[in-house]
Amino acid sequence: MPDHHRHERVGEEIAHEINAMLAGELKDPRLEGNVCVSEVRVQPDMKHARVFVSVRTENSKEQADAIKALEHASGFIRHELIERLQLRRLPDLHFTLDLSQEHVERIEQLLKQMKAASNPASKPKPDQAT
Protein backbone atom coordinates (compact mmCIF):
# COMPACT_ATOMS: atom_id res chain seq x y z
CA MET A 1 0.00 0.00 0.00
CA PRO A 2 1.53 3.35 -1.01
CA ASP A 3 2.07 6.09 1.53
CA HIS A 4 -0.60 8.70 0.73
CA HIS A 5 0.67 11.33 3.16
CA ARG A 6 4.39 11.26 2.35
CA HIS A 7 4.19 14.53 0.38
CA GLU A 8 2.67 16.25 3.45
CA ARG A 9 5.45 15.01 5.73
CA VAL A 10 8.10 16.06 3.21
CA GLY A 11 6.48 19.51 3.04
CA GLU A 12 6.67 19.87 6.83
CA GLU A 13 10.33 18.84 6.81
CA ILE A 14 11.16 21.26 4.00
CA ALA A 15 9.50 24.11 5.93
CA HIS A 16 11.41 23.21 9.10
CA GLU A 17 14.77 23.05 7.33
CA ILE A 18 14.31 26.27 5.34
CA ASN A 19 13.35 28.08 8.56
CA ALA A 20 16.53 26.73 10.15
CA MET A 21 18.53 28.09 7.20
CA LEU A 22 16.77 31.46 7.50
CA ALA A 23 17.73 31.56 11.18
CA GLY A 24 21.44 31.44 10.52
CA GLU A 25 22.85 30.13 7.27
CA LEU A 26 21.33 32.43 4.65
CA LYS A 27 23.28 35.67 4.97
CA ASP A 28 21.35 37.81 2.48
CA PRO A 29 20.40 41.14 4.14
CA ARG A 30 16.98 40.98 2.46
CA LEU A 31 16.18 37.93 4.61
CA GLU A 32 17.22 39.23 8.02
CA GLY A 33 14.82 38.94 10.93
CA ASN A 34 11.42 39.23 9.38
CA VAL A 35 11.12 36.25 7.02
CA CYS A 36 9.85 32.74 7.76
CA VAL A 37 8.28 29.86 5.90
CA SER A 38 4.66 29.47 7.00
CA GLU A 39 3.75 26.43 4.91
CA VAL A 40 5.04 24.17 2.16
CA ARG A 41 2.56 22.37 -0.09
CA VAL A 42 4.10 19.49 -2.00
CA GLN A 43 2.18 17.96 -4.90
CA PRO A 44 1.33 14.28 -4.38
CA ASP A 45 3.62 13.34 -7.30
CA MET A 46 6.50 15.08 -5.41
CA LYS A 47 7.55 17.10 -8.48
CA HIS A 48 6.68 20.61 -7.27
CA ALA A 49 6.48 22.35 -3.92
CA ARG A 50 4.97 25.77 -3.24
CA VAL A 51 6.81 27.46 -0.36
CA PHE A 52 4.65 30.10 1.34
CA VAL A 53 6.84 32.80 2.85
CA SER A 54 5.64 35.22 5.50
CA VAL A 55 7.43 38.58 5.47
CA ARG A 56 6.62 40.74 8.50
CA THR A 57 6.68 44.16 6.93
CA GLU A 58 4.16 46.50 5.35
CA ASN A 59 6.62 47.52 2.64
CA SER A 60 5.74 45.65 -0.57
CA LYS A 61 9.25 46.27 -1.99
CA GLU A 62 10.82 44.49 1.00
CA GLN A 63 8.37 41.61 0.55
CA ALA A 64 9.26 41.29 -3.15
CA ASP A 65 12.97 41.55 -2.33
CA ALA A 66 12.70 38.70 0.19
CA ILE A 67 11.09 36.43 -2.44
CA LYS A 68 13.82 37.40 -4.95
CA ALA A 69 16.51 36.62 -2.36
CA LEU A 70 15.04 33.16 -1.73
CA GLU A 71 14.84 32.48 -5.46
CA HIS A 72 18.47 33.61 -5.80
CA ALA A 73 19.50 31.23 -2.99
CA SER A 74 17.36 28.35 -4.26
CA GLY A 75 20.37 26.38 -5.54
CA PHE A 76 21.98 26.46 -2.09
CA ILE A 77 18.64 25.69 -0.42
CA ARG A 78 18.00 22.70 -2.73
CA HIS A 79 21.51 21.32 -2.14
CA GLU A 80 21.12 21.63 1.64
CA LEU A 81 17.65 20.06 1.62
CA ILE A 82 18.85 17.06 -0.38
CA GLU A 83 21.71 16.56 2.11
CA ARG A 84 19.58 17.05 5.24
CA LEU A 85 16.47 15.16 4.20
CA GLN A 86 18.37 12.47 2.28
CA LEU A 87 16.01 12.56 -0.67
CA ARG A 88 16.95 11.28 -4.10
CA ARG A 89 14.68 13.80 -5.82
CA LEU A 90 13.66 17.05 -4.26
CA PRO A 91 10.55 18.79 -5.59
CA ASP A 92 11.09 22.00 -7.55
CA LEU A 93 10.66 24.88 -5.11
CA HIS A 94 8.37 27.79 -5.97
CA PHE A 95 8.48 30.67 -3.48
CA THR A 96 5.23 32.60 -2.93
CA LEU A 97 4.42 35.48 -0.63
CA ASP A 98 1.99 34.36 2.11
CA LEU A 99 -0.63 37.06 2.69
CA SER A 100 -2.90 34.95 4.91
CA GLN A 101 -1.94 36.76 8.13
CA GLU A 102 -2.76 40.12 6.55
CA HIS A 103 -6.14 38.73 5.48
CA VAL A 104 -6.83 37.48 9.03
CA GLU A 105 -5.98 40.87 10.50
CA ARG A 106 -8.23 42.65 7.98
CA ILE A 107 -11.16 40.31 8.70
CA GLU A 108 -10.74 40.81 12.46
CA GLN A 109 -10.68 44.58 11.94
CA LEU A 110 -13.90 44.45 9.87
CA LEU A 111 -15.62 42.24 12.45
CA LYS A 112 -14.72 44.68 15.23
CA GLN A 113 -16.10 47.56 13.17
CA MET A 114 -19.35 45.67 12.53
CA LYS A 115 -19.71 44.78 16.21
CA ALA A 116 -19.11 48.39 17.26
CA ALA A 117 -21.65 49.68 14.71
CA SER A 118 -24.37 47.18 15.62
CA ASN A 119 -23.94 47.30 19.40
CA PRO A 120 -23.50 50.92 20.52
CA ALA A 121 -23.29 51.05 24.31
CA SER A 122 -24.61 54.59 24.53
CA LYS A 123 -28.14 53.83 23.28
CA PRO A 124 -30.70 53.22 26.04
CA LYS A 125 -33.04 50.29 25.59
CA PRO A 126 -36.64 51.28 24.80
CA ASP A 127 -38.15 49.06 27.53
CA GLN A 128 -36.18 50.79 30.29
CA ALA A 129 -38.12 53.47 32.16
CA THR A 130 -36.27 56.41 33.61
For residue 54, the domain's CATH number is 3.30.300.20
Where in the sequence is the domain holding 17, given as residue range(s)?
Answer: 6-118
Would you say residue 99 has pLDDT above 60? yes
Would you say residue 1 has pLDDT above 50? no
**Is residue 124 one of the residues assigned to a domain?**
no
- Chain-centroid distance of CA 64 in Å reads 14
pLDDT tens-digit profile of 49-94?
999 999 888 788 888 999 999 999 999 999 999 999 998 889 999 9
Domain count, the chain: 1
**Is residue 1 one of the residues assigned to a domain?**
no
**Is residue 125 one of the residues assigned to a domain?**
no
Region 31-36 average pLDDT? 84
Region 5-30 average pLDDT? 91
Would you say residue 15 has pLDDT above 60? yes
Burial 3-42 (b: 16+ CB within 10 A, else e): eeeebeebbebbbebbeebbeeebeeebbeeebbbeebbb
Tell me what pLDDT residue 4 has. Answer: 67
**Is residue 95 one of the residues assigned to a domain?**
yes
**Is residue 126 one of the residues assigned to a domain?**
no
pTM over 0.85, yes/no: no
